[in-house]
Amino acid sequence: MYLGIDFLIDKNLNLYLSEVNIGLPGGAQEYDYAFRVKHGKPSGVFKCIENLCRKKYKKSFSKYLKDLTYFNDLRELKIWMDGQGNLPSNFPPILRLEDKWVQYLILSPSYPLIATQILNNELILDNRLIDLSCEFAIKKRLGRGGKGFLKISSYNDLKNHNLTSDGSYIIQPYIDSTINTSDEIFKFSVRALAFSGNFICMYANLSRKFTSNHGIIFYIKPGSYLGINKVNFKTVKFSQKAWEADLFYEGAIPEYLYHNLYEEEVAEAELFLPERTFKMIQEISASVSSYYEKLDYDKLPESFIEKNFL
């Protein structure tokens, strides 16, 4: 299975698997841009994906995607998650994997996920699981692009927000995944791609916003520390259609996604990750991809959508 896997890293260099995206998540195009800025030539990532697909599935990658029985339903679900369309008329069990609570239930026994609970009516948290003295992150179980994300400064402050408690949100300790320079503080995350049990690539998103999605892209190198190799870095802007766009939307790209699918900004700098962290991301990404392929989707916990809309 082709996956986009997001990671956060706190100030103590603890690695957290934040989210897993199925279908055709972004990442290959961004990595290729970062590689081009760093090395001055194409990365070869698209050929790597194509070769893996032909070796494993005996077909081209575009044919592989079109043959996925849930492909159209997933596309409709992604647009609904963006708040721009209707729920898919069909909800095959594999789409349960888009629900962050389902991800937590199936992945947390084996992988380093952030402690998670469903936000409930009483706003009661299990202090054996979540430190009540920390800051909190509120996320939609079925949301993307930072939509519905809320940072809460304290447990007492939870009651001061008009939070829905219908089971559609999760609550987690807020992970302060930041990169500090002498001038600025950036929120950052790592996006890794894996396909058919193989790690493909990774790059970093750094942002001046309170979330790191669609920020400045950085090429990642293993090293001895976490940080940027240039404090006052310049950036290169790319404006062309993402590789994933036509494959996933089949020529009917929603207008509201133009910025996400056509415009990227890449740093003329590198982000160094401790070598141990770099290897952990590679290993976890490949492992999760293999694990997802072996799942019996009919036996997964039901999604919020199934329990409330179907």
CATH number of the domain at 125, please: 3.30.1490
Owning domain of residue 58: 2-105+176-308
> Measured between alpha carbons, how far is residue 155 from residues 147, 172, 178 in Å?
22, 11, 22
- Count Cβ atoms within 10 A of the Cβ of residue 283 and give its class: 0-12 exposed, 13-18 middle, 19 or more buried: exposed
Indicate the pTM of the whole model.
Answer: 0.94
In this structure, the number of other CB atoms found within 10 A of the CB of residue 102 comes to 19
Same domain, 63 and 27: yes
Same domain, 33 and 163: no
pLDDT at 212: 65
The tokens describing 295, both together, are 């799942």
Q: Does residue 110 form part of some domain?
A: no
Burial 229-267 (b: 16+ CB within 10 A, else e): eeeeeeeeebeeebbbbeebbeeebbeebeebbeebebb
pLDDT at 122: 66
- Count Cβ atoms within 10 A of the Cβ of residue 299 and give its class: 0-12 exposed, 13-18 middle, 19 or more buried: exposed
Indicate the number of domains in the chain. 2
Same domain, 32 and 144: no
Q: Single out the residue in 134, 158, 174 at which a domain terminates.
A: 174
pLDDT at 269: 96
Give the list of residues 6+ apart from residue 264 with CB closer than 8 angstroms, or none. Answer: 29, 30, 33, 217, 237, 238
The tokens describing 196, both together, are 């058919």
Q: Single out the residue in 146, 174, 202 at which a domain terminates.
A: 174
Res. 140 pLDDT band, cuts 50 70 90: very high
Please report which residue ranges of 59-160 form alpha helices under DSSP H: 61-67, 71-81, 100-107
Same domain, 123 and 233: no
For the four alpha carbons of 84, 239, 149 and 278, in that order, the dihedral sign comes to positive
Q: How many residues does this entry show for the chain?
A: 310
Residue 249 has pLDDT above 90, yes or no: no
Res. 123 pLDDT band, cuts 50 70 90: low
